[in-house]
Amino acid sequence: MRRDTLAPLLIGAAVIAAIVAGLTITGGPMAARAEKRDMARLADLRILASFARCVAEVTDNLPTALAPVDGCGTDLPLVDRATQTPYRYDVLSETGFRLCASFERPDLITEYEVAGASWQPDAGCFAFTRP
Amino acid sequence: MRPSDQLAEFTRDALAAGKSRDDIRSALERSGWAPNEIAEALNAWADIDFPTPVPRPRPYVSAREAFFYGLMFAALAMTAWHLVALLHNLIDHWVADPLTENGGRYALSSTRWSIAALIVFTPTFLVLNRRTVQATKADPGKRRSGVRKWLGYVTLFLASITLLGDLMAVIYALLSGDLTLRFILKAVVVAGVAGAIFAYFRQEAEDARDAA
| DSSP sequence for chain A | -HHHHHHHHHHHHHHHHHHHHHHHHH-HHHHHHHHHHHHHHHHHHHHHHHHHHHHHHHHSS--SS----TTS-S----B-TTT-PBPEEEE-SSSEEEEE---S-GGG--GGGSTT-EEETTTTEEEEE--
Q: How far is B160 from chain A (nearest CA, A)?
A: 19
- A6 near B CB under 8 A: no
Predicted confidence at residue A1, as pLDDT, reads 46
Burial class (CB in 10 A: 0-12, 13-18, 19+), A67: exposed
Q: Can you tell me the distance from the alpha carbon of B178 to that of B99, in angstroms, rounded to the nearest whole number?
A: 10
pLDDT for B204 equals 67
What's the whole-number mean pLDDT along residues B167-193? 82
Do A35 and B108 make contact, defined as CB atoms within 8 angstroms? yes
Summarised one tens digit per residue, pLDDT across range A84-126 is 889 999 888 888 888 999 988 888 888 778 888 888 888 889 9
Across the A:B interface, residue pairs with CB atoms under 8 Å apart total: 56
Taking 50 as the threshold, does the pLDDT of residue A130 lie above it? yes
Domain boundaries, chain A: 31-129
- Minimum CA–CA partner of A12 in chain B: B122
Residue B61's pLDDT band (boundaries 50, 70, 90)? low
| Predicted pLDDT at B102 | 64
CA end-to-end distance (rounded Å), chain A: 73
| Any B CB within 8 A of A8 CB | yes
Least confident of B62-66, B104-108, B188-192: B104-108
Q: Give the pLDDT confidence score for residue B58 in this predicted structure.
A: 67
Cα-Cα-Cα-Cα dihedral of B195, B196, B202, B208, to 10°? -150
Contact B46, B55 (CB under 8 A): yes
**Residue A15 and residue B133: Cβ atoms within 8 Å?**
no
The whole-number pLDDT of residue B60 equals 58
**B36 vs A17, which has greater pLDDT?**
A17
Predicted pLDDT of residue B144: 66
More confident residue, B21 or B159: B21
Q: Which tens digit of pLDDT belongs to each residue from A37-83?
A: 999 999 999 988 888 888 888 888 888 888 887 788 778 888 888 88
Whole-angstrom distance, CA of residue B137 vs CA of residue B139: 6
- In angstroms, the separation between the Cα of residue A129 and the nearest Cα of chain B is 25
- Count CA atoms closer than 13 A to B114's CA, side-chain side: 27
Taking 80 as the threshold, does the pLDDT of residue B104 lie above it?
no
Asked if A11 lies within 8 A of B79 by C-beta distance, the reply is yes
pLDDT tens profile B20-59: 888 899 998 898 888 878 888 888 888 888 888 888 876 5
Give the best residue of A9, A15, A36 to mutate against chain B (max B CB count within 10 A): A15
Complex ipTM over 0.85: no
Task: Tell me how crowded residue A28 is: count the other CB atoms within 10 A of its CB.
Answer: 9
> What 3-state DSSP class applies to B198?
helix
For residue B105, give the H/E element and its range.
Answer: helix B105-138
The verdict on a CB contact (< 8 Å) between A8 and B118 is no
Contact B86 A19 (CB under 8 A): yes
pLDDT on residue B101 = 67
Mutate to test the interface with B, among A2, A5, A16, A26 (most CBs of B within 10 A): A26
Q: Is A58 on the interface with B (CB under 8 A)?
A: no
Q: Where are the domains of chain B?
A: 3-55, 63-211
Which chain B residues contact residue A28 at CB under 8 A? none
How sure is the predictor about B193, in pLDDT bands with cuts at 50, 70 and 90? Answer: confident
Confidence of residue A4 (pLDDT cuts 50, 70, 90): low
Lowest-confidence range among A32-41, A121-130, B96-105?
Answer: B96-105
Nearest CA in chain A to B87: A18
pLDDT of residue A2: 60
